Amino acid sequence: MRKGAELAQTLPREWIDRLNQSLFSLTEDAKLLDDPVILAALRRANRSELLHWANANLQRPGEPVEPYVSADMVDTARELARRGGAELLMNLARATQNAAWDLWMKMAFSLTQDPVVLEEFLEISLRSISEFINSNIRVMMQIILEEKNTQAHDDPIDKRSLVDRLLDGRDVEMEQFGRRLGYSLFQKHRGCLVWSEIPDADIRLLEEMARALAHLTGTTAPLIVFAGPATLWVWCVAAKPLDLNLLQGLARQFPNVRAAIGSPGAGMNGFRQSHFEALATQKLIGRLTGAPAVATIDQVRMVSLMTQDVRAARQFVLNTLGRLSTAPMVLQHSLHAFLVNGCNITLTAEVLGTHRNTLLRRLERAQDLLPVQFSDHRIHIAAALELAIWSSPVDSGE
């Protein structure tokens, strides 16, 4: 048990990957996992619970392990209870338990070949893992029951419930709802989502980001709704177009905060549609590792379509970019910027803040790596680069 616990304590990469993959083994209510805040909390829980169980077995091998539910998992349980996703949380715990048992059982055969010892070891291990997961589930169920009781006694008329009614497509009296929300529904809106995937996120930073976004759209009084433990829904008056450069400046100003922005839309339909576009943008940002911290629906439409079939998208990138697909990201970014700026060397160098001669060398290197003729396949190359950049971690290496 100690030897196995020592290995588990190192949090092997393949173990963490397998536990995280188990989150997607369920089909029912899987849309809740499109929320990157919830998904990040569940991934953190996998790491922290494995570490807690391993440390306990290092100190007292085979003895009962105290339940462990982190603070942000408490918030996640409450949020899932509000969304009617309590059963999903229980099912995910079982899926994680099955994955953990598979990993532990395979590891057990490397520790001993003695059938008597192995049988006893697996029996004790199964009991330890099962009882630990069961005790965690009991804690989570108590949290969920308390949240449901709280909801039953809360005033049902708050901003979140009012907005939910609007988003559900119900017929409402717009002027009356606007007065209650303190926000006119007759104007042209731009829906935004602001969130953080780090534990213990400061909600004040999210609010500051929301107001800064609203300022860029020409709004002084946005509608801000608390939609989760680290998520805000925001609606702004679409008084002026968004400046993408200023948006990226916000991303640098709030490094641990992310934002997704829908397109402008008028009236009730625009209120709903822009919000749903922001949700779709958030889903993509949370799924692709190279996505910027702040993005609009217009920036993600093509990438979203291209990633509906992940395997086909990967093959398209490989076929189109060849060796450039695995080259340093600086080469991909340089060629992408060159295409975006109309193949204008001077303009591209200015945008990238790069010397003209440095840019020319990078472009030459990038084109040499392509398996296709650059001049004949510019559109395909631009699309493949867009997809590659969004799907890869940032790498500034030469």
For the cut 80, the answer to whether the pLDDT of residue 312 exceeds it is yes
Q: What is the pLDDT of residue 152?
A: 56
Q: In 3D, which of 89, 93, 94 has the Cα closest to residue 38?
A: 89
Measure the CA angle with vertex 102, ends 1 and 112; round to 5°.
40
For the cut 70, the answer to whether the pLDDT of residue 31 exceeds it is no
pLDDT one-digit tens code per residue, 186-199? 999 999 999 998 88
pLDDT one-digit tens code per residue, 262-297? 999 999 999 999 999 999 999 888 877 778 889 999
Global pTM exceeds 0.85: no
Q: Round the average pLDDT of the chain to a whole number and report it.
A: 87
Q: How far apart are CA 233 and CA 207, in angstroms?
A: 10
Residue listed under structure tokens 């609203």: 214
Q: How many CA atoms lie within 13 A of 369 on its CB side?
A: 20
Burial grade of 331 (CB within 10 A; 0-12, 13-18, 19 or more): buried
Q: How far apart are CA 132 and CA 216, in angstroms?
A: 49
